[in-house]
Amino acid sequence: MITINQYLKLIENFLKQHHQINTVITSNEADFTAYDNVVYPVAHIDYVTQRINGANVSHQFEIIIGDLFDPNIPETEFEIYSDCNLIADDVVTYFANQFDTGYEVDENVSVQKFTDANVDRVAGCVFVLTFNQFREANACIIPTNDNTRPFGEQFNQEF
């Protein structure tokens, strides 16, 4: 199985090579606003959750893509939304078109716009990228009836 750290590296490496991104940050969303040496446009990656569903496991990553804008220049904000949405589409398209990787990407992605004015005036988009993969059981690690006593017997003997 592919680990969370491996997925983070895959996403980071793609975004670092994207010609429209200058800075890639991986952290939780609260820490993202604390970075002061960002060269815009910026991409931020945050691990969100894991979902186990039968024989499959899904990992979700929130990706924020943003750029500085001047509110005094008309329609600048919408130009940034447009550019960031194109980058989001590049991310989804790239990972959806990778084959023999051990994962599949859910291409049903909702891309939301945002505007922020904490320190800098930043606009852009936020979306969640979901990687799905087959969940393999590792018999060397997971206790099974083949390699341990049944739990009931062990529990009754201990108490």
Reference 105, options 119, 115, 90, 125; nearest CA is 90
The pLDDT value given to residue 139: 59
Q: Which domains does the chain have, with CATH numbers?
A: 4-158 (3.30.2000)
Could you say which residues of the chain have pLDDT below 70?
30, 33-34, 118-119, 137-159
The pLDDT value given to residue 158: 54
The pLDDT value given to residue 75: 87
Neighbours of 47 (CB within 10 A): 17
The pLDDT value given to residue 108: 95
Alpha carbons 81 and 134: distance in angstroms, whole number: 35
> Number of H helices and number of E strands within the chain?
4, 6
